Amino acid sequence: MTSYLCAIGTANPPHRIPQPQIATFMAGALQLNDADTRKLRALYRVSGIAQRYSVLPDYGRELGQYDFFPNTPDLEPFPTVGQRMAQYRQHALPLSVQAVRECLRQQPSLSLSGITHLVTVSCTGMYAPGLDIELVAALGLNANVQRTCVNFMGCYAAVNALKLANAFCLADANAQVLIVSTELCTLHFQKSHEDDHLVSNALFGDGAAAAIVLGKPAQQGVSLALEAFHCGLEPDGHQDMAWHINNFGFEMTLSSYVPHLIQRGIRQLTDQLLENLPVELSDIHAFAIHPGGRKILETIEQELGLSAHDNRFAYEVLRDYGNMSSATVLFVLQKLLHSLTPADAGAPVLSFAFGPGLTLEAMLLKAVTAETAALHTTATATATKPVGSLASAPGVL
């Protein structure tokens, strides 16, 4: 049996803010001198990001025009966790619903009435009764839909959600799983001169992605069969990528050592994923890599012998949205999925995501259509069906 990623929808808040404009906000908020402002602007220029989205308009405004942050030169009193979570609760639901509606537009034959499982994913906000229950009401899902929440796992969490969806579909061929990943990273701006915070402030944006996983491919277009998963852990990176709840928001640790850790582990991760599969790395020409940052993408290309063109979907998402934590790899997969045609059926797809730990997640997917999946099922059934006395003859089947 196989499960299939059949549709992905994405959504972003209305405030689209160019990267240089965010740099101006940050320089003012941190009260940097001219020399440090130039260094900060250089960091933003080399990030590979042109713009990001936020539920907060303040990042594109000048002092005196802020809605969320205090209109004081040092932003004091700095917003508390409670104030940030109030914003999360206000904005997470409508953004999630928008992503789900977009997901359904990709496959009009699918219906919310058939959803049996709901998996919500987030590391940037939590409350209870939570987003999962609010989505049931807002989308009109069955009250007995099975709900699972994947919280606080960071940028790789959407892969865990896909693992859950895969398990649900393998256990029940009629399962229809809706995944909703919603991250409002910009709520957690830290007014700090530490390098970790300067880098994270330069990378993260807000977005939501919704995906539907079924026990059969979508009736039209191309789906992605979930072929295999593998998780790696680099314990030496325990302190290099972390996520903690403190008094003034969630604080990200993101050291410059992370690309080195990924460089050290990515080849082994890939080999372990593929070692028991009839696929070699050289067979794979489609990639969906979480763009944790430009340097991370370049490091993976060097280690696996990929080109920037192979990695183009990741670069496009990084450029247009920044890093949206767990939702980001679904944005990349959506771009890849939209690029596939029925002629690509059978093509393998390699996907990676990374997060606290340092955790490295890998997935192997395969492009399929309803027709090619049916042919494969028929061929498999024919190959394994006993035929008279030949069924027990050694070496025949």
d(CA 6, CA 359): 26
Residue 273 CB coordination number (10 Å): 23
Q: What are phi and psi of 241, to 5 degrees?
A: -140, 110
- Paired strand residues for 363: 229, 351
Please indicate whether residue 6 is annotated as part of the active site. no
- d(CA 304, CA 360) in angstroms, rounded, equals 15
* CB contact set of 78 (below 8 Å; sequence gap of 6+): 70, 191, 248
Maximum pairwise Cα distance, the chain: 86
DSSP 121-154: EESS---SS-HHHHHHHHHT--TT-EEEEEES-G
What are the two backbone dihedrals, phi and then psi, of residue 39, each rounded to the nearest 5 degrees? -65, -40
Q: Is 357 helix (H, G, I), strand (E, B) or coil?
A: coil
Which of 6, 155, 169, 185 is flagged as catalytic?
Answer: 155
Catalytically annotated residues: 155
